[in-house]
Amino acid sequence: MSAGSVTTFRVPGATLTEREHVVPLDHAAPDGPSIRVFTREVAAAGGEDRPYLLFLQGGPGHEAARPSAPPIGWQKRVLQEYRLLLLDQRGTGRSTPVGDIPGDTPRGQADYLACFRADSIVRDAELIRRELGVDRWSLLGQSFGGFCSMTYLSLAPESLREVLITGGVSPIGRPVDDVYATTYQRMIERNSAYFERYPDDRKIVRDLFLRVEDEEVLLPSGDRLTPARLRQLGMPFGMSDGFERVHHVLELPFGSRAFLHDLDAATRFGRNPLYATIHEACYADGGATRWSADRLLPDELVERHYFSAEHVFRSMWQDEVALRSHREAADLLAEREWPRLYDPDRLARNEVPVAATIYVDDPYVDRGLAEATARQVRGMRPWITNEYLHDGLRMGTETLVGRLIDLAKNRI
């Protein structure tokens, strides 16, 4: 597909329209280098003229969900009232990829990577909205996509009909250290719950940590299994099936091909390096992050051989081959003074209907910080629930997104 071309497919239950859009790499320099951004429009039969709902994927650094044929789950429910627009955020999926980071110097690489935060994604969306001739559209933001939605409400609320957020009510004006202090506490609680469910795993995990401190254990990727790498096995603890995913790795014999393969696959970032490299920056509502997850790593988590979650550590750029090419750029990004992502005054005067799930036990997006934000955004209707974890959109299928639509439209 050449830039600017349009391709349409008819599949069971839907019409898919695929487009590539050309946008500036740096929106502050519109005449500079450009990149491509891919969208896929999904319309139900007879729904080709329904209003648009733009889906903003979680991450950062992950492409949009792919539609099934026929559409199922939350997409099926959305298509009853909207046309769904699935955006591969810049650097992901079929958009211009971020693989080998462009730039002849670490500074050049860092400047390139600095263009991949929520503010740039929102400005891409605004160019696409105008290109499609849309006056206003609705948003559904999952996790990091919810952070992007909050930025959208700050930058261009006049373009929005309503906003739905699942597990992504971002902190506003809080230092990044506040975020990591609270998410570490949530992970201590999740680890405790995990070992209550699988008590025999306590010894397995403790022995693993001690073993990889003393032995050189190589993963199939060629990376060494370090204690920091092992700690990242807890990444899924915020998902409904997370405990089982971790347990099913740990039950395998140490050193077996299956164990090493599964642990390698569960803890590497080679497919989506953006996730690791701009993860802390996506929380930076001003200021620098300075490797916050490293600095705030609790002694309790280390001493009890607990797992971490969505925490990136500086050592990853040494331990993982796929990240080494931009290790110095990652250091520069950690020291970068980031511009603000949110406008608290504008959010306090918000007139766009906003409905959001806040998950009680979510270790990635802290409930307390999310509730504080909900009080700062005029008209936000939070749905606080312990029925789901962070993957509620996937697990709640039609029910969850249907409730959010009804909340935003003031039907309930």
Task: Quote the pTM value.
Answer: 0.96
- Taking CA 373 as the corner, what is the angle to CA 394 and CA 331, rounded to the nearest 5 degrees? 80
Distance CA 242, CA 50 (A): 37
**1 pLDDT higher than 70:** no
Q: Is 1 among the domain residues? A: no
Mean pLDDT, rounded, of the chain: 95
- The percent of residues above 90 in pLDDT, for the chain, comes to 93
Q: How confident is the model at residue 3 (pLDDT cuts 50, 70, 90)?
A: low
**H helices present in 251-309, as ranges:** 257-266, 273-277, 292-295, 299-303
We report the CATH number of the domain holding residue 84 as 3.40.50.1820
pLDDT digits (tens, 9 = 90+) for 15-39: 999 999 999 999 999 999 999 999 9
User: Are 142 and 225 members of one domain?
Assistant: no
- Which conformational region is residue 72 in: left (phi greater than 0), alpha (psi within -120 to 50 degrees), or beta? beta
d(C-alpha 83, C-alpha 88), whole Å: 16
Q: Residues 115, 148: one domain?
A: yes
* pLDDT over 70 (residue 89): yes
**Is the bond leading into 70 cis (omega within 30 degrees of zero)?**
yes
Tally the domains of the chain: 2
Between CA 55 and CA 149 the distance in angstroms is 10
123 and 98 Cβ atoms separated by less than 8 Å:
no
Buried b (16+ CB within 10 A) or exposed e, 313-350: bbebbebbebbeebbebbbbbbebebeebbbeeebeeb
Same domain, 268 and 323: yes
Lowest-confidence segment of 187-191, 201-205, 270-274 by average pLDDT:
270-274
Of 335, 368, 395, the position where a domain reaches its end is 335
Judge if 307 and 256 occupy the same domain: yes
pLDDT bracket for residue 271 (50, 70, 90): confident
Q: Do 191 and 302 sit in the same domain of this protein?
A: yes
Count CA atoms closer than 13 A to 95's CA, side-chain side: 28
223: which 2 tokens?
């990376």
- Of 319, 335, 351, which residue sits at a domain end? 335
Q: pLDDT tier at 397 (50, 70, 90 boundaries)?
A: confident
Assess whether 53 and 180 both reside in one domain.
Answer: no
DSSP 115: G
Please, which pLDDT band fits residue 325 given cuts at 50, 70 and 90?
confident
Rounded Cα–Cα distance for residues 142 and 222 (Å): 33
Q: Which of 232, 195, 198 minimizes the C-alpha distance to 212?
A: 232
Whether 42 and 154 map to the same domain: the answer is: yes
For 107, the domain range is 6-173+342-408
- Are 94 and 178 in contact, with CB atoms under 8 Å apart? no
Phi-psi region of 291 (alpha: psi -120 to 50; beta: other; left: phi over 0): left
Q: Looking at the predicted structure, is the pLDDT value of residue 248 above 90? A: yes
Q: What is the pLDDT of residues 327-346, one digit of tens each?
A: 999 999 999 999 999 999 99
Express each pLDDT in 151-181 by its tens digit: 999 999 999 999 999 999 999 999 999 999 9
User: What residue type is 68 in one-letter code?
Assistant: S
Same domain, yes or no: 298 and 393: no
Last residue of a domain, one of 300, 335, 370: 335
Residues 130 and 249 in one domain: no
